[in-house]
Amino acid sequence: MNFGAACKFLMTIYINRETNMKKTIITVVGKDKVGIIAKVCTYLANNKINILDISQTIIDGFFNMMMITDTTNAEKSTKDIRHELHQIGEEIGVSIHVQHEDIFEMMHRI
């Protein structure tokens, strides 16, 4: 790890501890089409959900997008956000999941 990456890593820990940040992972899987990111990002912006990181790729021929988001300032409950994003997914023909980051941290980090 270089110095910059180390600083970024330490900052992340610091921010998480200091602000008790609620990090949520949003995944979008489906057939690629115009406007998927726009639609999801608009919803997030309207609901005061901050995007910390975003990445996308094609796995097994399907469009896969992952967003690491901060829901600390969101006014809606995680449950409502989950249901509304699920509905948006159905409208545009993709599958959207909203999960707490801990399940991935636990499974892939010792």
Q: For binding to another protein (CB under 8 A), which residues are involved?
A: 12, 25, 27, 29, 53, 55-57, 59, 64-66, 68, 78-79, 82, 97-108, 110
- State the minimum distance, in angstroms, from the CB of residue 87 to another protein: 15
- State the minimum distance, in angstroms, from the CB of residue 100 to another protein: 5
Q: What is the DSSP letter of 72?
A: T
Edge-to-edge strands of the sheet including 94-100?
50-59, 62-70, 23-30, 94-100
Of the two residues 18 and 109, which places its CB atom closer to another protein in the complex?
Answer: 109
Of the two residues 51 and 68, which places its CB atom closer to another protein in the complex?
Answer: 68
- State the minimum distance, in angstroms, from the CB of residue 107 to another protein: 5
- State the minimum distance, in angstroms, from the CB of residue 24 to another protein: 9
The string of DSSP letters for 29-64 reads EE---TTHHHHHHHHHHHTT-EEEEEEEEEETTEEE
Of the two residues 25 and 36, which places its CB atom closer to another protein in the complex?
Answer: 25
* Burial label, 98 (beta-carbon count in 10 A; 0-12, 13-18, 19+): buried
